[in-house]
Amino acid sequence: MKENIEEELKVAKAATVGAKLLSNELKRDLLYKIAAELKGNVENILHENKKDLERMDAADSRYDRLLLTEQRIIALADSVQAIADLDDPANKLLSSKLLDNGLLVEKKTVPLGVVGVIYESRPNVTVDVAALCLRSGNVCLLRGGSDAWFTNNVLVELLRSVYSKHAVNPDMLQLLPTERKHVTELLTATKFVDIIIPRGSQSLIDFVRENAKVPVIETGAGVCHTYVDKHADLPKAAKIVANAKISRPSVCNALDTVLVDQAIAESFLPILIELFHEQQVRIYADDSSYEILTMLQYPYLEKASPEDFGREFLSLQCSIKLVDTLDDALIHIANYSSKHSECIISEDAEKIAIFMEAVDAAAVYANASTRFTDGGEFGLGAEIGISTQKLHARGPFALEKLVTEKWYVTGNGQIR
């Protein structure tokens, strides 16, 4: 076992200058070559992947995420090729001013430097993140789950060999050892690492937030509300709510709580539970909605406890609360939202406008499923994550956020 990862961190930092100077064309070409190498090494990759799979119980929920197939490897290669074709976000001129004193003051985008990504057992993250970092001229430090060690290692070595073959420093990409102490080392290496992006479960993100000294872009949990106003089209509302809950309950943009205007609850809930029933969606209901749902004999019903509001269910469960006014809905959301995605369903334009301005979240919706909060759906290309913070990146973010700004000041002897 390694004592520490200082050497890895040092060579990563040292690789930043070379990474920054790679031309747009070379970066694109390297990505095409990587895509080809992935397709040409399917057997080798599957062989290493098998070693990881053999260590995991096939009933484990992570098994399918870890599993690679020929088809999945080809999809990985295609994704690398798509990233190759994206615009280089670095070296863009943001502003340029010639001052009266003759100084030329320019602001340009430049790569962040060393990007550390901490994730779990999805090998596609390994390739995607490495490709996005290369595309933007960043050095990439990967810390994947120990479950995926052999898979990640063969993938990273394949990429590094492409770098070496083309006289590019392979230390631009490194897979870090998986021991926890090295994670803490990475999170506190302010001298060597410019940014950390955690991708994975809430507990991983919490650990990173608690321990990081390096700046973090949080890709956080989604406690998502949908408010059904009394001026909603009820069948449409039920379809949107059901989709937000059922289409993929394990993801962060899935619905957690339905807020229903008291005035339409008795007409709305019967339509909703018709859509919930088949999927056996479990409802944690506040007192007023519990009464209605009991009368309707909905079988998957429990009384909500206080913790069921503000809870991210990540499964076929949700909480329901009746509210008297739009204001009550806004107050509830302000108290319990994780500021990810929030929705109003209404045909009243004024109420929609108030809701969308007043709610403080990365994405606010009118009359559509919150499940759309996604870089691909929003047309951003390869998504890095969905930021729930307010600085630098908010909501779905992609390649263009892997850069920072830098001021270039060119003079001829100017003094102040």
Minimum distance of a second copy from residue 289's CB (angstroms): 23
Count of residues that bind a second copy according to CB under 8 A:
66
Alpha carbons 267 and 265: distance in angstroms, whole number: 5
Residues 341-370 that bind a second copy (CB under 8 A): 352, 356-358, 360-369
Interface pick for a second copy out of 112, 156, 186, 281 (rule CB under 8 A): 112
Say whether residue 406 binds a second copy (CB under 8 A).
yes
Say whether residue 174 binds a second copy (CB under 8 A).
no
Say whether residue 308 binds a second copy (CB under 8 A).
no
Say whether residue 47 binds a second copy (CB under 8 A).
no
Residue type at position 181: K
Query: 279 or 294: whose CB is closer to a second copy?
Result: 279
DSSP code string of 17-50: HHHHH--HHHHHHHHHHHHHHHHHTHHHHHHHHH
Exposure string of 277-300, with b = 16+ CB inside 10 Å and e = fewer, is eeeebbbbbbeebbebbeeeebee
Say whether residue 184 binds a second copy (CB under 8 A).
no
Residue 216 DSSP class: B
Interface pick for a second copy out of 105, 204, 263, 271 (rule CB under 8 A): 105
Interface pick for a second copy out of 25, 167, 278, 379 (rule CB under 8 A): 379
Interface pick for a second copy out of 373, 375, 383, 384 (rule CB under 8 A): 373
Minimum distance of a second copy from residue 409's CB (angstroms): 5
Residue type at position 382: A
Pair of tokens at residue 69:
């197939």
Closest CA to 399 of 121, 111, 120: 111
DSSP code string of 179-191: -HHHHHHHHT-TT
Query: 154 or 242: whose CB is closer to a second copy?
Result: 242
- The packing angle between helices 24-40 and 149-165, to 10°, is 130
Which residues on neighbouring strands pair with residue 257, listed in sequence order? Answer: 225, 319
Interface pick for a second copy out of 79, 243, 257, 388 (rule CB under 8 A): 243
Cα–Cα–Cα angle for 196, 62, 375, rounded to 5 degrees:
50
Cα–Cα–Cα angle for 267, 270, 274, rounded to 5 degrees:
145
What is the x/- site pattern for a second copy, positions 281-300, by CB under 8 A?
Answer: --------------------
Residues in contact with a second copy by the rule CB under 8 A: 13, 16-17, 20-21, 97, 99, 103, 105, 107, 112-113, 194-195, 215, 217, 233, 236, 239-240, 243-244, 247, 330, 334, 352, 356-358, 360-369, 371-373, 377-379, 389-396, 404-416
